[in-house]
Structure 1
Amino acid sequence: MGFDREALREAVKTHGKVVRVVIAAIKGSSPREVGAAMLVWKDGQSGTIGGGTMEFQAAEAARSQTTAARLTQHALGPDLGQCCGGAVTLLTEIYDRETVDGLDDTIIARSVSDGDMPLSVKRLLAQARGQGVQPEPQLIDGWMVEPVHKPARDLWIWGAGHVGRALVDVLSPLPDLAITWIDTGFERFPDSVPEGVTVLPAANPTELVRHAPRDAEHLVLTYSHNLDLELCNRLLLHDFRFAGLIGSATKWARFRSRLAALGHSPERIKRITCPIGDPSLGKHPQMIAVGVAAQILRPARQNELKKDLSA
């Protein structure tokens, strides 16, 4: 979790003045963690600090806020109709184009009490800049400190058909994924693409494989078996953290044979996962997307990726 500067910048660009509400501190139980935030504007909002009455009241208060920043305390319990039983401190700040442009691109630290920067905050910033140790979002000695959010995982989705579209709908709201979406032309993509998704139309998508980061994850699900096969071939030559191919066991048996004929060893070919998803969920595009998303996001899978990075 971190300060999503790009989402805030896009919201300000679209809506003008935007109020950001972030959980600055918690005591006891809370529906969301410190750093969880929502953006509020005149007739809408995005993100969530936990839902329920607290979020509704915070959004209404944000729309009528006149001060640049405000710190408020909220007891979660019968008065708010929530059963968490803890207490939450919210920091509510107004942003416009000028204030968004002035935000740091690594760590955003600001006073909520008009005090000079304390030594505790200076130490956090020095550690981040000198040792690369990113601080956790926190309210410390009258200052709110948040690292700027940067997606931790590059996900390349090859194919903008029904399953590709369903996958993008499911995965694009997740903050830790930077999604690159590839197909053979602009006409293959929907008219509206979620914010933060990079669309890459290419007459020959396989030529883009060499531009993918070597630690990227790939989901191959194009309209063509021949294109799928060549993408798998190029990925095996290029390297990746994860590669998943949509298809049946029969398709994968055929692909294994053809990839072997192209010179790939059985051990290398095994790095590609096929089938992907959960066949028991059925073949509806949204159900396939749910199964694939669960597969690549499950804790065990994320632990495997962390081991790959530390190897």
Structure 2
Amino acid sequence: MPDVATHAHLHPGGVLDWVGMDGIEMPVHFDAGNGDVQRASAKVGAFVDLGQPDRRGIHMSRLYLLADEYLAARPLDAPLLESLLRAFLVSQQGLARRARVSLRFDLLVRRAALRSGHAGWRAYPVFIDARLDSDGFRLELGTEVTYSSTCPASAALSRQLIQQQFARDFDAAAPLEHAAVLAWLGSERGIVATPHAQRSVARLAVRFVDGAPLKLIALIDRVEQALGTPVQTAVKREDEQAFARANGANPMFCEDAARRIQHALDDDDTIADFHVRLEHRESLHPHDAVAQASKSMPGKARRDRRSAIELADHV
């Protein structure tokens, strides 16, 4: 049958960066590093460049069939995706020199409550971007961590208002009675102001060193421990109280959160590079507070190392 897409054509010629398909619906299998292979519904992107300016198009259906074949073969890892990209290039019969595959799906992780002994599920989005070109194979793994952030400035202003209310309610010249102070602290007058807090998001893109496994759960755990206040699943009153205590002891600006994650990931020798974007979706403002950080590179000037995974697109 004729294949007019690959014929020479009279239209304006040009080399194209990427041609292919996005949003392909396929199942994938993924071990996030705990030995539990999960099956997930993924959206897959399959692309090659079109390096022949006189050729009208590529063999798109071959990309689809190869993705279907390889992604069904075994759980996702770097060797599997590199083999898939090499097959992409072979399938194009010299039309392409670069190949790319992207995957988006959710990972379910069981999380224990803070105090009660209950547990619940958290769905972490997973983004994988793998490329093969003249520089070799590169893979980036991305995810999001949602957490609570209490504003340090608002906390300080709230404490000042509580001090002022205490001064109005208790005469400085009169002796303090323990029972009266204790009752005051438990009343609404003892908490006349509260600091504003908000649900916040850390978006990560990580490139592991060659040969390192894709231990996503360990990465998420490291980030959540650095932040201290990840969102919870099952919550009883004792869990909510523990969460309130953690927030009170852990106020942070977006700059604080970014530096915490930066230090935590800098200390991981399996990570070759990373980029992180923090968004504090403030309750005070209609806009977000944002900070970005990347891996510390001794001896090199700080620069904006743009990730292959476009973090801002995965809201």
TM bucket (normalised to shorter chain) is: under 0.3
Q: Which has the higher contact order (CA 8 A, sep 6+)?
A: 2
TM-score for the superposition, normalised by structure 2: 0.26
Tell me which protein shows more helix as a share of its residues.
Answer: 1
* Structure number, greater radius of gyration: 2
